[in-house]
Chains A and B, each alone.
Chain A
Amino acid sequence: MGGVVDALTHLAGGFGIALQPLNLLLAFAGVFVGTFVGMLPGIGPINAIAILIPITFATGLSPASALILMAGIYYGSQYGNSISTILLNVPGTASAVVTALDGHAMTRAGRGGPALAMAAIASFAGGTVSIFFLVFFAPLLAEWAIRFGPAEYFALMVFAFAALSSLAGGSLVKGLAATALGLLLATVGLDPNSAIPRYTFGQIKLLDGMDFVVVTIGLFAVSEVLQLLEETERGQAVTRGFGRVMVTLRELLTSLGAMVRGSVLGFLVGVLPGAGGTIASFLAYSTEQRVSDRTGTFGKGDIRGVAAPEAANNAAANGAMIPLLTLGVPGSGTTAVLLGALLGLGVTPGPLLITEEPDLFWGLAASMYVGNVFLLLLNLPLVGLFVRALTLPRWFLLPGVAALSFVAVYAVNQSPFDLVLMTGFGVAGYFLRRTGVPLAPIILGLVLGPLMEKSLRRAMSLSGGEWEILFSSPIAVTLWLLAAASLVGPPLLARRIRTRAAASTPTRTPPG
């Protein structure tokens, strides 16, 4: 079939776009700033993306360039998260929890440098393997996705919500409540079908609905600042000697298998909606432990215990781009934020994106790869700089992040009203975090809610009000079954992950 050849041709064209000087510069800037913000204790990737994306909008870049900047931020923030995980044992996301097991053990043994280098190399390996999968699978899935009608989309979104609710961490009941809160936020504003206002309480500024940037920064960043106020007394103790940020050839060779297995596993799990990165890194770690831990060194600073989850995590991040780009349906909090950003740039992901805007799609695929290369080439020499920044006191770093958040929120509508909303969401986010409600489903509900409602109403209009249309095609029925399965199955698996992770890792709840 010519599809793959076409894909490769387009990918080459994509590299042509990604390698333009301005775009290279943007990729570098994105990776650098993303690493810095993603590394800050407690801030993590989702905050980094939410804060930096509106600033991307404000620059007035072309969609392709803005996407490249965003891809850089996405990757950079993931790696920044690895830095604080390995050096400080503070995973910013649930997916980094298993990296802490061996990564921080290595730091304690004075080998933090090799651990950081391996994290970068493994992430690069994960990115490389998964970009090939992306090239082959995305066009296939897009071809298949064209057959999706509104009923199938509705079922798909129910599946995404069900999967994320049960996998986002915490209890299923709280996950479902979070999804409902997100859907509710999505209904605020003028109803597009009947043009009546919903939940605006007479506020003209609410007629346009809730902006996802305001909600995300409030829920994640502001509530994080409040949460961190509890911990101000504790300073950050970075272990001084951590060795050169480099791995030996022998370490590289012994970790090769771990990286390949982690990458493939990570990608496959990442394509599924739900907590892709978390499940992927956990599966990769436990698989690697079974396959290659013959001497019982895992958990005590085995470099393969860093390589496998880091490769899987990055591959899963790429895998998650497939449903996002071909179906327009994200499966995690972070990809939901990315979808919001794409919509904000006037790009509507879906089956037609590949055929109608090949430049954009393949430019993004290529720039994801360029971002990976930058991570490897620039972060290795710059790690010392990042580590020094980690030792800066919190009173210096965090208010600066808060100021950036203010600018980001203000940039959306140039309205102080949004700052009030942001503060309100910050307080709500703190309360939800405190009570163990996962925040990612709220963002997914907010971003997908309008699409979900539109699909349902279109399907029902087509059928003249007959509910059977929602179950009328094999695709739809399969998706409903998957949704049901993801409500029943993963809580069992998640329980296993939690007990395993709780055995030897920090207790701080990651925000996503």
Chain B
Amino acid sequence: MRAATGTDRILGGVLLVLGVAVAGEATTFDVLFLTDPVGPKALPLAAAAILVGSGALLAIRPGLGGGWPRPGTLLRMAGAVATFSAYAALLAPLGFVLATTATVASLSILFGGPWKRSVVVAAALSVALWYLFVWLLGLPLPLGAVWGASWMR
């Protein structure tokens, strides 16, 4: 990792923009009659002020940061984020066991696991978690719309 001032400048810029956007949105919090002397705008505006102030400071006087990961690593991270997002989308239609198996197996492979064993471990884990939560702890996990019938019970 290369040390650079770039990360602090980027962070400062992001905080600055976020602070301004937050403050802008806060000005739309209009109430018909004032319920209290402070109102709903005060805390968001105070937080926005801190964000703008700290963002500006970081952008002007950055410290040394750690730099960014290599492209190959970034790609694997993007893969992990895609896997997480896919899980959110697939959980209801595919059901807990299948969606979790697919996600855990993909993550294992991203972590360098051999793919066959990754799938087996992921499937075993998903079924174990299903029985632990649904049967033992009574937490309703989605069964999966595509299956229609409740064959798992």
Nearest to B88 among chain A residues (CB) is A419
Contact B40 A198 (CB under 8 A): yes
Nearest to B32 among chain A residues (CB) is A194
Contact B69 A230 (CB under 8 A): yes
Q: Knowing A173-B58, A177-B15, A403-B125, say if A398 contacts B40 (CB, 8 Å).
A: no
Q: Which residues of B are found within 8 Å of A426, using beta-carbon distances?
A: 81, 84
Q: Which residues of B are found within 8 Å of A423, using beta-carbon distances?
A: 81, 84-85, 88
Give residues 377-416 of A contacting B (CB, 8 Å): 393-396, 398-400, 402-404, 406-407, 410-411, 414, 416
Give the interface SS of chain B, mostly helix, strand, loop or mixed: helix
Contact A177 B50 (CB under 8 A): yes
Contact B31 A233 (CB under 8 A): no
Q: Which residues of B are found within 8 Å of A396, using beta-carbon distances?
A: 108, 113, 121
Give the interface SS of chain A, mostly helix, strand, loop or mixed: helix
Q: Mark B86-116, 1 if CB is under 8 A from A, else 0.
A: 0111011000000010011101111111000
Contact A464 B37 (CB under 8 A): yes
A190 to chain B, nearest CB (A): 10
State whether the Cβ of A367 lies closer than 8 Å to any Cβ in chain B: no
Q: Mark A170-194, 1 if CB is under 8 A from B, else 0.
A: 0101101101110110110001011
State whether the Cβ of A319 lies closer than 8 Å to any Cβ in chain B: no
Q: How many residues of A contact B (CB 8 A)?
A: 70
Cβ contact of B36, chosen from A55, A407, A460, cutoff 8 A:
A460
Contact B126 A403 (CB under 8 A): yes
Q: Which residues of B are found within 8 Å of A394, using beta-carbon distances?
A: 111-112
Q: Which residues of B are found within 8 Å of A422, using beta-carbon distances?
A: 84
Nearest to A193 among chain B residues (CB) is B35
Contact A173 B81 (CB under 8 A): no
Cβ contact of A399, chosen from B7, B65, B108, B141, cutoff 8 A:
B108
Give the contact-size bracket for chain B: 35 or more
State whether the Cβ of A346 lies closer than 8 Å to any Cβ in chain B: no
A287 to chain B, nearest CB (A): 31
A340 to chain B, nearest CB (A): 19
Q: Which residues of A are found within 8 Å of B81, using beta-carbon distances?
A: 226, 423, 426-427
Q: Mark B67-95, 1 if CB is under 8 A from A, else 0.
A: 01100010011001100110111011000
State whether the Cβ of A489 lies closer than 8 Å to any Cβ in chain B: no
Contact A420 B43 (CB under 8 A): no
Contact A180 B104 (CB under 8 A): no
Give residues 70-99 of A contacting B (CB, 8 Å): none
Contact A416 B88 (CB under 8 A): yes
B100 to chain A, nearest CB (A): 6
Contact A222 B57 (CB under 8 A): no
Contact A58 B50 (CB under 8 A): no
State whether the Cβ of B29 lies closer than 8 Å to any Cβ in chain A: yes
Q: Which residues of B are found within 8 Å of A58, using beta-carbon distances?
A: 133, 137-139
Q: How far is the CA of A483 from the CA of B87 in the complex (A)?
A: 44
Contact A193 B36 (CB under 8 A): yes
Q: How far is the CA of A243 from the CA of B90 in the complex (A)?
A: 48
State whether the Cβ of A465 lies closer than 8 Å to any Cβ in chain B: yes
Q: Which residues of A are found within 8 Å of B15, using beta-carbon distances?
A: 177
A107 to chain B, nearest CB (A): 25
Contact A407 B50 (CB under 8 A): no
Give residues 43-69 of B contacting A (CB, 8 Å): 43-44, 46-48, 50-51, 54-55, 57-58, 63, 65-66, 68-69
Q: Please give me the 8 A-B residue pairs with the lowest Cβ-Cβ distance, nearest first.
A: A395-B113, A465-B37, A419-B88, A180-B50, A395-B111, A399-B107, A177-B54, A435-B11
Give 12 A-B contacts (CB < 8 Å), ordered by A residue: A58-B137, A171-B63, A173-B57, A180-B51, A193-B36, A229-B110, A230-B73, A395-B113, A399-B107, A400-B104, A403-B100, A436-B66
Q: Which residues of B contact A (CB under 8 A)?
A: 7-8, 10-11, 14-15, 19, 22, 25-26, 29-31, 35-40, 42-44, 46-48, 50-51, 54-55, 57-58, 63, 65-66, 68-69, 73, 76-77, 80-81, 84-85, 87-89, 91-92, 100, 103-105, 107-113, 118, 121-122, 125-126, 129, 133, 137-141
Q: Which residues of A contact B (CB under 8 A)?
A: 55, 58-60, 171, 173-174, 176-177, 179-181, 183-184, 186-187, 191, 193-194, 196, 198-199, 222, 225-226, 228-230, 232-233, 393-396, 398-400, 402-404, 406-407, 410-411, 414, 416-417, 419-420, 422-423, 426-427, 430-432, 434-437, 449, 452-453, 456-458, 460-461, 464-465
